[in-house]
């Protein structure tokens, strides 16, 4: 008999309780939307006699990822109550460090390889496709992050006293960053998109989702999309380079007439299986050096300040790796059949999700395919105040788990 390993995320993000519109985010409340679009707390006792799929549970981690975890646990409970035997063996691993990037997971998986050994991995984490149809996701992008510091004068300087003398590091930084993408939004680093080939069949499979780029652009409030893929789904199949934060001196009420002493640039790259994080980060480092920057380890010495007109430090970290399971593989076909039984054609298969999941220890150490089963509504405010889970999604999540647990795997 086959064995399936289920991955549950158990921890949650920290919360700012003052920003929530309920007394305590750690105490779940049931809410109903009124005609003016406001969510109001309603008596959860009502659930004993009534059910409205559009009611929502608001609580910290309701969607990320207590709802998905409880869908599986509830399904197991129901099968036990009904004395129904599972169609395969199951193992469950609970990750209490997901939001920290699962630092202990690789070691735990390596040390418990025998215990965790299974034929496949089902991940109970992640949000549904924008259409809010039940979603299976066959991969996730990996991540690498970097910090670039460009050094100017030793201290911030008065712009009247030293303007025209001391170069402002913002200008060099802006030129450097500006050259990282062309006018169509494509990354210019050498080899950045290397190795990614999408066949016509793959394009058809991955574009087989109910969405269109125009309405996505409208929702995001942008006139033009980066020209990396022809569709949103195609764009997600490539690595991305993002400036996730940029800081120099002061702005707003604290603005002052100075030449900043440094610029801090925070960068993230989302990776796909074809793009090695180290290779791409090294290529970015080369771009910075080729631009004439002398790179120092941390703070430049007096000697370095005297010698090099363009000084910077650059450090990067590799996070979780990308993974992808073939939609056409036996596990893909099995899940397709199971979903079809319950939802007909009303569900979505996604080749990859844009975000990252710490799955590589399972995939590289246990060498098993993984698919994530996505339950929560896309407008669930995860990682933000008023996180919520739509009851209809929770119910369909339990039904999905029941269907999966009841379908024998060949
Ligand atoms: Zn999260």
Q: How far apart are CA 133 and CA 128, in angstroms?
A: 7
**Ligand 1 center from residue 3 Cα (angstroms):** 27
**Ligand 1 center from residue 94 Cα (angstroms):** 14
**Ligand 1 center from residue 380 Cα (angstroms):** 12
**Ligand 1 center from residue 13 Cα (angstroms):** 6
- The pLDDT of residue 186 is 98
**Ligand 1 center from residue 12 Cα (angstroms):** 6
Output the six-digit token pair for 108: 């735990």
**Ligand 1 center from residue 292 Cα (angstroms):** 39
Q: How far apart are CA 376 and CA 373, in angstroms?
A: 10
- The pLDDT of residue 259 is 98
- The pLDDT of residue 356 is 83
Burial class (CB in 10 A: 0-12, 13-18, 19+), 191: exposed
Listing DSSP states for 187-227 in one string gives B-STTTTTT----HHHHHHHT-SS--HHHHHHHHT-S---T
**Ligand 1 center from residue 112 Cα (angstroms):** 25
- The pLDDT of residue 102 is 87
**Ligand 1 center from residue 384 Cα (angstroms):** 10
**Ligand 1 center from residue 383 Cα (angstroms):** 6
Distances (CA, A) of 207 to 156, 233, 325, 332, 344: 51, 6, 17, 17, 19
**Ligand 1 center from residue 387 Cα (angstroms):** 11
- The pLDDT of residue 206 is 87
Helices 391-405 & 67-81 angle (0-180, nearest 10)? 50
**Ligand 1 center from residue 123 Cα (angstroms):** 13
**Ligand 1 center from residue 160 Cα (angstroms):** 47
- The pLDDT of residue 355 is 83
**Ligand 1 center from residue 293 Cα (angstroms):** 37
Mean pLDDT by 10 residues, the chain (410 residues): 96 94 97 97 96 98 97 98 96 94 91 96 94 95 96 98 98 98 97 95 89 92 96 95 97 97 97 96 98 96 97 95 91 94 95 86 90 96 96 98 94
**Ligand 1 center from residue 261 Cα (angstroms):** 35
Residues 6 or more apart whose Cβ sits within 8 Å of residue 144: 268, 269, 271, 277, 278, 280, 281, 316, 317, 318, 319
Q: How far apart are CA 188 and CA 239, in angstroms?
A: 12
**Ligand 1 center from residue 66 Cα (angstroms):** 11
Burial class (CB in 10 A: 0-12, 13-18, 19+), 65: buried
**Ligand 1 center from residue 197 Cα (angstroms):** 30
User: What is the signed CA dihedral for 48, 54, 59, 60, rounded to 10 degrees?
Assistant: 140
**Ligand 1 center from residue 359 Cα (angstroms):** 14
Contact 188, 179 (CB under 8 A): yes
**Ligand 1 center from residue 306 Cα (angstroms):** 46
**Ligand 1 center from residue 173 Cα (angstroms):** 32
**Ligand 1 center from residue 1 Cα (angstroms):** 33
Long-range contact list for 190-197, CB < 8 A, 24+ apart? 190/283, 190/286, 191/279, 191/283, 192/239, 192/241, 192/275, 192/280, 192/283, 193/228, 193/238, 193/239, 193/275, 194/274, 194/275, 195/274, 195/275, 196/237, 196/238, 196/272, 196/274, 196/275
| Residue 340: Cβ within 10 Å count | 13
- The pLDDT of residue 364 is 84
**Ligand 1 center from residue 143 Cα (angstroms):** 14
- The pLDDT of residue 357 is 83
**Ligand 1 center from residue 97 Cα (angstroms):** 10
Contact 277, 168 (CB under 8 A): no
**Ligand 1 center from residue 158 Cα (angstroms):** 43
Q: How far apart are CA 265 and CA 287, in angstroms?
A: 15
């Amino acid at each position: 008999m086959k064995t399936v390993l289920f991955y549950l995320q158990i921890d949650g993000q920290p919360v700012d309780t003052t920003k929530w519109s309920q007394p305590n985010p750690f105490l779940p409340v049931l809410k109903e939307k009124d005609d003016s679009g406001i969510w109001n707390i309603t008596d959860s006792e009502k659930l004993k006699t009534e059910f409205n799929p559009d009611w929502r549970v608001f609580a910290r981690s309701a969607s990320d990822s207590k709802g998905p975890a409880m869908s599986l646990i509830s399904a197991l409970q129901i099968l036990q109550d009904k004395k129904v035997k599972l169609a395969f063996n199951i193992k469950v691993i609970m990750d209490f460090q997901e939001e920290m990037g699962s630092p202990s997971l690789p070691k735990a998986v390596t040390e418990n390889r025998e215990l965790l050994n299974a034929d496949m991995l089902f991940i109970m984490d992640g949000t549904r496709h924008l259409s809010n149809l039940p979603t299976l996701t066959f991969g996730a992008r990996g991540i690498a992050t970097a910090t670039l510091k460009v050094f100017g004068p030793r201290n911030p300087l008065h712009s009247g006293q030293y303007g025209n003398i001391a170069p402002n590091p913002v200008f060099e930084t802006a030129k450097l960053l500006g050259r990282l993408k062309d006018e169509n939004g494509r990354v210019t680093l050498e080899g950045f998109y290397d190795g990614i080939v999408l066949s016509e069949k793959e394009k058809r499979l991955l574009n087989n989702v109910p969405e269109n780029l125009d309405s996505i652009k409208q929702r995001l409030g942008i006139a033009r999309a980066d020209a990396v893929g022809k569709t949103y789904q195609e764009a997600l199949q490539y690595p991305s380079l993002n400036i996730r934060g940029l800081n120099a001196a002061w702005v707003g009420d604290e603005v002052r007439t100075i030449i900043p002493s440094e610029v801090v640039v925070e960068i993230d790259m989302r990776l796909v299986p074809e793009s090695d994080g180290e290779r791409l980060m090294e290529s970015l480092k080369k771009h910075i050096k080729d631009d004439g920057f002398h790179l120092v380890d941390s703070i430049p010495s007096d000697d370095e300040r005297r010698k090099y007109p363009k000084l910077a430090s650059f450090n990067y970290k590799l996070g979780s790796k990308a993974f992808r399971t073939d939609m056409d593989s036996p596990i893909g076909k099995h899940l397709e059949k199971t979903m079809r039984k319950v939802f007909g054609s009303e569900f979505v298969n996604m080749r990859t999700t844009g975000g990252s999941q710490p799955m590589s220890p399972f995939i590289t150490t246990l060498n098993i395919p993984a698919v994530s089963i996505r339950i929560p509504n896309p407008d669930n405010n995860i990682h933000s105040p008023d996180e919520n889970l739509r009851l209809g999604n929770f119910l369909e999540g339990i039904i999905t788990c029941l269907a999966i647990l009841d379908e024998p795997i060949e």
